[in-house]
Amino acid sequence: MATETDQMQTNTKPIRVLVVDDSAVMRKLISNLLEKDDEITVVATAMDGIFALAKLEQFRPDVVTLDVDMPRADGLSILRQIVAQSAVPVVMLSSLTATGARTAMEALEIGAVDVVCKPKTAARIGEVAKELIEKVKAATHGRIRQGEGVAVRPGEGARARASGREVKIVAVGASSGGPHALRQWLPQIPADFPCPIVIAQHLPETFTTTFAKWLDEICQIEVREAKAGDPVVPGCALIAPGDAHLTVRRKAAGVEAVLDRSGLVNGHMPSVEVLFRSVAAEYGSEAVALIMTGMGDDGAEGVGEIKRRGGHTIAQDEESCMIFGMPKVAIRRGYVDQVIPLNRIAEYLVATVGLTTKAEIRGNAK
């Protein structure tokens, strides 16, 4: 079975990139590391946002890498213009600081496909080479419907509470496009939502703290970055830290969050796979899994494990995904009960935790 990455590698047309950074050294280093990949060619560079807009029109790149801090016109201002004027996906480069994290969140909200943390010194740019190359490749699929599409008929396989069991947790996994998507539906979850929500979102270390606060400001439920020992309770959504896997563990006093820093899984930490398998083990048929926008297959087998244990599984639909990778893999493997558009996720989850029959579930998915 071909993966999303395999499919992209069959495309012989080079990905044309415009590199925008106010540092001549960084422009050269970023261009060099990108062009080490045979599938990427840097067609132009720009020293600031004004030049970038001109070169965008002149060279028509497939992807733009855009520094946040630049003279004359900062990265966010230029990002707004690119989003408003063209469909060219943008990968932001941001410093790994609290200020950089807040700016990155704003960039993702404006419409950037993803963000890469710049090292503190130009000499260390090679440390993010693999990540930047992967995200530039993923960006070519951003906001574009990929593949022939995979559909699940409304109501097909829906089993949430059909067995009479109560839904006691909602586990969510997302990658590229996830911050924006979560910001759309999580604020719609009511304060009295009867079960906890646990989230694995691929983001750099330090960014998840800001991301959680960013969501908490607009949500009715509490949203915070998970800490070891946090109670997993209704009225709260816990987000995995950017440097740890989030798992759950039952104890006599209830369920608590556990952080695992043992290493990357599926190339990620936090990994959706780790979270979903933990939820499957602790909650079984009482779990609901939601897999959302993102490249690759992280979490697909975890969705399958929740399904095998009798839980209910949901995927964000192709049309509303920024990158239809993770959901597509889970769907193709037969692990997804329902495919739901982004603007119906909150409504569907609220309905699902209170439903008792397949017929009612079908009605709410239409």
Q: What is the pLDDT of residue 75?
A: 85
- For the record, the structure tokens of 172 come out as 């969510």
CA distance 279 to 162: 19
pLDDT attached to residue 298: 97
- Give kind and range of the element (H or E) at residue 15: strand 15-20
Domain borders along the chain are 10-139, 169-365
pTM for this model (two decimals): 0.83
Question: For residue 179, is the peptide bond before it cis, meaning its omega torsion is within 30 degrees of 0?
Answer: no
pLDDT in tens, 270-302: 999 999 999 999 999 999 999 999 989 999 999
Q: Could you tell me which CATH class the domain 10-139 is placed in?
A: alpha beta
Q: Which residues of the chain have pLDDT under 50?
A: 1-10, 144-164, 355-366
Tokens linked to 288: 């609901």
- What pLDDT is stored for residue 270 in this prediction? 97
Fold topology of 169-365: Rossmann fold (3.40.50)
**pLDDT the model gives residue 98:** 72
User: 3-state secondary structure string, 204-259?
Assistant: CCCHHHHHHHHHHCCCCCEEEECCCCCECCCCEEEECCCCCEEEEEEECCEEEEEE
Residues acting as catalytic residues: 175, 202, 298
Sign of the alpha-carbon torsion through 31, 34, 35, 36 = positive
Q: Are 288 and 169 in contact (CB under 8 A)?
A: yes
**Angstrom distance (rounded) from CA 322 to CA 115:** 14
Same fold, 10-139 and 169-365: yes
**pLDDT value for 190:** 96
